[in-house]
Amino acid sequence: MLQKLKNHVLAQTFRELKGNPKWSICTEPLWFIPYSLFVPFQTLYMRKLGLTSLEIGTTLTVGFLLQMFFALIGGVITDKMGRRKATVIFDTLGWTVPCLIWAFSQNFWWFLAAAAVNAAFQITNTSWNCLFIEDCPPKHITNAFTLIQMCGMLSVFFSPLAVILVGKHDVVPVMRWLYFIAAISMLAKFLLLYHFGGETQIGKKRMEETRNLSYFSMMKGYGRVFLTMIKSGKMRLVVYFMALTNIIQIATTNFFSLYVTEQIHLSDELVAVFPVIRTIVMIAFVIGLQNLFQKLRMKASLQIGFLMYIASHLLLLLTPEKNLLLVMGYTILEAAAYAVIIPRKDALMAHYVEPKERSRIYALYNVLMIGISAPFGSLVGWMFDLHPALPFLFNIGIFVLCIFLTMASRDLSHLEEAIS
C-alpha cells in the first residue's frame, strides 16, 4: 500500500517539483486551515457584534467593488514589482491585516475597513498564479494544481474544531482568537514562501522590460492585451471555460442546501454532513483515479467530467422527498466531476496564456470573472424563486455547452503534443 502511494502520479509530481511550485504547495495549509476555521462563522460573528443585514450586505458590496479595482491593477503591479515581492506584500496586506482588524472589530466601520483592505488579495490572484506556474514544468501543471486543491480539501477536516469551540464558548471570543491565529499562520506562510521561493525567469524579464515604464502607461496597454485575448482561439476557450465553471458554482454552492431542505425536505442538520462527504469523495477520487486520468487526453478528461456533472444534476432533480441515499449519490458524482474539471480548467489557462503577458492577462481574467459572475448570482436566485429546479436545469444546459466546446476545439486535440 505504501509503495503504491509512493508511486502515485501526485507523489511523483511532488518529488520532482522544485522552487516556487513546491514551496507553494508546502506552505498552502498555513492559509487553508485557519481560513476553514473562521469562514463558516464570519457572518454570525458580524451579527453578534450588532451589524444589521444591510450593514453586512454593504461590506460585501464595497469589498466586491474594490476587488474589481485591485484585480485590474494586479497585472501591472505584478510586472513592475515582481511576482515574489508583490505576492508577499499584498498577501500580507490582503489577509494578515484584515484578520487582525476582524479580531479586534467592534462595529460596522471596523468590518468595512477590513473588507476594503481584504480586497487587495485580488492582486495576489495574479502574482501568486504567475509565481506558481511560470517555473513549473508544463507536464506537471495539472497535477500541481491538483495538489493545491488537495490542500484545500484536507483543510475541511479541521472545521469541526471551530464547531466544538463555538459550542463550548461564545462565538465572539472564539472568533477573535481564530482571526488572531489566522493572522499569524497566514503571515508565516507568506514569509516562508518569500524566503524559500524566488523570482521567476519571466518575472525578472518583465521587471527589466517595465523598469522605465510608468504604471499609467502600462495600464493603457490593457486594451491591446484584451484584443489579443479576443483574437486568440485558445484564450477565448479559456475565457469560456472560466466563466461557465464560475457560473456553475453559483447554483451548486449557494442553492444546493436550499434545494435539499425545501424540495427534498432533508433536515438542516444533514446539510452540514454533505461538505464533509464531498471532500472525502474528492480526495478518494484524486488518489484512486488520478493515474487513470493522467493517461487520458485533456479533451477526454473534460468531457467525462462534464458528463458526470450532468448525471449528478439529473439524479438530484429526480430525487423523491426525504431520499438521503440519492442526494448522497448526487454529492459523490458532483464531487468527482469537480475533482476532474477544476484542476484541468486552471491548467488550460496556464498552458494557453502567452508567458510575456501572463500577469496582465490573469488580471483581465479576474476582472472578467468577477464582472460576469455578479449578475448571474441574481439571475440564479430569480430562477430558484420561479422554481427550485431551474438553476440546476440551467447548469445542465451549461454542461452540454461545455461538451460541445471541447468537441469543437482543435487546440484541445493537440494540447498534449504541444506540451511535449
Question: pLDDT digits over 309-354, tens only?
Answer: 999 999 999 999 888 889 889 988 988 888 888 777 777 776 666 6
More confident site: 79 or 189: 189
Q: What is the pLDDT of residue 420?
A: 46
420 vs 418: CA distance, rounded Å:
6
In whole angstroms, give the CA distance from residue 113 to residue 98.
8
* Confidence band of 373 (pLDDT split at 50, 70, 90): low
Task: Assess whether pLDDT exceeds 80 at residue 383.
Answer: yes
Does the structure show a pLDDT above 60 at 97?
yes
Residue 85 binned pLDDT confidence (cut-offs 50, 70, 90): very high
pLDDT of residue 419: 47
Determine the CATH number of domain 16-216: 1.20.1250.20
Least confident of 55-64, 284-293, 390-399: 284-293
Question: Does the pLDDT at position 98 exceed 70?
Answer: yes
Examine the pLDDT at 416 and tell me if it is beyond 60: no
Q: Say if CB 90 and CB 124 are below 8 A apart.
A: yes
Lowest mean pLDDT among 43-52, 106-115, 127-136, 286-295: 286-295
Under the banding of pLDDT at 50, 70 and 90, the label for residue 264 is confident
Find which of 11-20, 108-117, 278-287, 358-367 is predicted with most confidence, using mean pLDDT.
108-117
pLDDT for the residue numbered 79: 86
Confidence band, pLDDT 50/70/90 cuts, at residue 291: low
**Average pLDDT, integer, range 31-49:** 83
Report the alpha-carbon distance of residue 129 to residue 86 in Å, rounded. 12
pLDDT of the residue at 5: 62
Q: What is the band of 292 on the pLDDT scale with cuts at 50, 70, 90?
A: low
**Residue 298 in this model has a pLDDT that exceeds 80:** no
Instruction: Report the share of the chain in percent with pLDDT over 70.
Output: 88
pLDDT at residue 418 is higher than 60: no
Residue 209 pLDDT: 83
Question: Which CATH superfamily does the domain covering 221-420 fall into?
Answer: MFS general substrate transporter like domains (1.20.1250.20)
Please, where in the chain does CATH 1.20.1250.20 lie? 16-216, 221-420
